[in-house]
Structure 1
Amino acid sequence: MTELLLLYRYLATGDSFRSVAFCFRVGASTAAGIVNEVCQPKPDAAEWRKIAAEFSHLDFPNCLGAMDGKHVVIEAPPSSGSLYYNYKGTFSIVLLAVVDAKYRFRVVDIGAYGRNSDGGTLSASAFGTALRQNTLGIPADSPLPGAEHLGPMPHVFLADEAFPLRQNIMRPYPGHNTGEKNVFNLRLSHVRRMVECAFGILASQWRVYRRVLGVSPKVAENIVKATCMLHNFLRWDGNPGLPGGAAHVVRDKLCQYFNSPLGSVQWQNRMV
């Protein structure tokens, strides 16, 4: 119990190991060791069909999650050169996350170099590899509600322009769009905000994100994992895509569906 309380204090306050150690009457190195040891979560096997059902209530069927990357600022690791140096001018590791309709982290991949783009981070991640190799246990393709004429549609993750368009990853239509493509972009943005909101909740809840983490990248990775787990615990109420033409067909069919009487919702026309 003492170890867990020490971890809570470190994550919630962002205080140094020395300050936390003083409160618990242990050495600073001991406090650092406790944080590193306790922050070892195990991957959660996501319930894809349940997630898709929850997103259907947000007017985007066959959606498995909103995806994005967050930079976690750390001190420059020794002899690391520009590996961790990001476009914001700080040093960081990347939290790549897939968030469900209740702002819970269902997939996280942590520790990529800060200099990597979101697309590059995804490509190099275990999640990205599993997505390409179709080993995530994603449900079989299924028709959109009331639109069997479009044929079976893949389940998809929603992302922004920094990610590639694939059969299982939907990004907005590029450029300035009007009409049907604008409707699709609006519907995607409406759901993709879940991941941005989840990052905001995470940073506001755990003040450790408001400071530069003065730890090694490995320890920082474990800290981020722990905050994601605790975030989920506080919010819990129960418990590979192909590039190219196929992905464009999927997006066009979703666009068609969202603009048809079967798939349109009242608010989208007001927003457009």
Structure 2
Amino acid sequence: MERTLVSLLCLGAVYLRMKRRRRRSKWVHTVLRNRRLHGEFHRLVQELRLDDAWFQHYFRLDKSQFDDLLTKVAPRMHRMDTNYRRAICPAERLAACLRYLATGDSFRTIAYSYRVGHSTVCGIVTEVARAIWDCLVEEFMPVPTTEDWRAIAADFSQRWNFPNCLGSIDGKHVVIQAPNNSGSLFYNYKGTFSVVLLAVVDAKYCFRVVDVGAYGRTSDGGTLANSTFGQALRDGTLSIPEDTQLPGAAYLGPQPHVFVGDEAFPLCRDLMRPFPGVNLSPRNRVFNYRLSHARLIVENTFGILSSQWRMYRQVIGIRPANVEACVKATCVLHNYLRRSTRTRREPVAVSAGEMSVLQDIRRVGSNNAAREAIHVRETYASYFSAEGAVPWQPMA
């Protein structure tokens, strides 16, 4: 009898909840039905096609780049019409995603302007971002081969006077809204919540390796150690070229190819960081100056990325997994634009005074390193103060 009474009470509660639930008054809202007449893609975007500069300001891509990108990703975004509604075309899906990446506006703002549902925009942005990464990564951010590493080292030697350099490495905190039930995992030292973008950049401001999704509380060194790139660097499976003699210093013997980073990274045979401390010898100050000159390439690249895609200027209020998809999409689009744009402005070189200020900003880090790594850094320091000296460096 009691069980029957409890069951009846439960059924009654469910019935009352269903009765109180607001019934859906319209299958598709009247405003959304007029999408093809008054939606931003069907009106404003088509007018912007008449002006190249305005179109590029709107999407960060010119018309030819937009159309070329559409041909690459359209097969991944095509949807079939149904008896109830017409599908959103791939071009409109791509436009909504690029608009979000370019402005960082909320999904609801884009939903109103494009006259689609809020949840629809959320699904479109994530889906298109993943499609952009999958369709472009093999062509514009492939895994570097030995020949690729040699070409990068040649560019660093020619453009930035750092021989045997394979890339500049650093981490960027992408600010996000605190995920539910995440505790302090995403809370970083800057007092915000973030995921980390770890990147290796070549001498031409292009991303060569990216790792996205590490917790904001993790240091750059810890992010490197936990990343696939860091594990490959530690295991020696990166296809790094064999040791090569430094120009004009055959007596020093073959030296390893290295990545350059700041004080947050550990000193390794294949990864150079500055000498720690303030009262340094002239020789060590020259090394820090030359290393900072090459390392700032990744800082400049992050600046280009965040100025091009204003998503990075906002607090991103989506799930970390979707943030990862958007960040990877902007990185591969950055390479796509760098290699397909004919004219572009190179970042201004840092002056000697600015470089000295940057060198005074130091973070405390561990100074534990293997003897081989210490020997490699000492060799580079000696080289930069002798055969490898350049007129614009500080006097040793």
Does residue 147 of structure 2 align to residue 44 of structure 1?
no
4+ residue segments displaced more than 3 Å: none
Partner residue in 2 for 1:101 = 203
In structure 1, which of residues 2, 5, 10 is the aligned counterpart of residue 100 of structure 2?
10
- RMSD across aligned C-alpha pairs, in angstroms? 1.6
Partner residue in 2 for 1:165 = 267
> Aligned partners of 2:116, 2:208: CA distance in 1, in Å?
35
Q: Report the residue type matching 1:246 in the other structure.
A: E
> Aligned partners of 2:250, 2:112: CA distance in 1, in Å?
64
Does residue 371 of structure 2 align to residue 245 of structure 1?
yes
Report which stretch shifted further, 77-86 or 202-211: 202-211
Q: Please report the TM-score for the alignment, with normalisation by the length of structure 2.
A: 0.65
Larger radius of gyration: 2
> Aligned partners of 1:125, 1:77: CA distance in 2, in Å?
22
1:26: Cα distance to partner?
Answer: 2.3
Q: Report the residue type matching 2:274 in the other structure.
A: P
Partner residue in 1 for 2:154 = 53
- Secondary structure of 1:212's partner? coil
- Secondary structure of 2:169's partner? strand
Matched residue count: 267
- Deviation track 1:180-205 (CA, whole Å, cap 9, x = no partner) reads 11110000001111111111111111
In structure 2, which of residues 217, 224, 234 is the aligned counterpart of residue 115 of structure 1?
217
1:237: Cα distance to partner?
Answer: 6.1
Instruction: Report the structure, 1 or 2, having the larger helix content.
Output: 2
> Aligned partners of 1:229, 1:197: CA distance in 2, in Å?
16
In structure 2, which of residues 282, 294, 299 is the aligned counterpart of residue 179 of structure 1?
282
Partner residue in 1 for 2:243 = 141
Q: Report the residue type matching 2:379 in the other structure.
A: K
Does residue 130 of structure 2 align to residue 27 of structure 1?
no
Partner residue in 2 for 1:209 = 312
- Deviation track 1:192-243 (CA, whole Å, cap 9, x = no partner) reads 11111111111111111111111000000111111111111111269xxxx5
Partner residue in 2 for 1:198 = 301
> Aligned partners of 2:165, 2:124: CA distance in 1, in Å?
38
Partner residue in 1 for 2:82 = none
In structure 2, which of residues 377, 382, 387 is the aligned counterpart of residue 256 of structure 1?
382
| Residues 237 and 154 of structure 1, relative CA distance in 2, 3 Å threshold | farther
- Secondary structure of 1:236's partner? helix
Q: Report the residue type matching 1:12 in the other structure.
A: A
> Aligned partners of 1:235, 1:68: CA distance in 2, in Å?
20
1:22: Cα distance to partner?
Answer: 2.6
- Deviation track 1:230-260 (CA, whole Å, cap 9, x = no partner) reads 111111269xxxx501101110111111111
Q: Report the residue type matching 1:220 in the other structure.
A: V
Which one scores higher on RCO, CA 8 angstroms, separation ≥ 6? Answer: 1
> Aligned partners of 1:37, 1:174: CA distance in 2, in Å?
45
1:14: Cα distance to partner?
Answer: 0.7
> Aligned partners of 1:133, 1:28: CA distance in 2, in Å?
46
- Secondary structure of 2:306's partner? helix
Partner residue in 1 for 2:47 = none
Partner residue in 2 for 1:75 = 177
> Aligned partners of 2:199, 2:394: CA distance in 1, in Å?
30
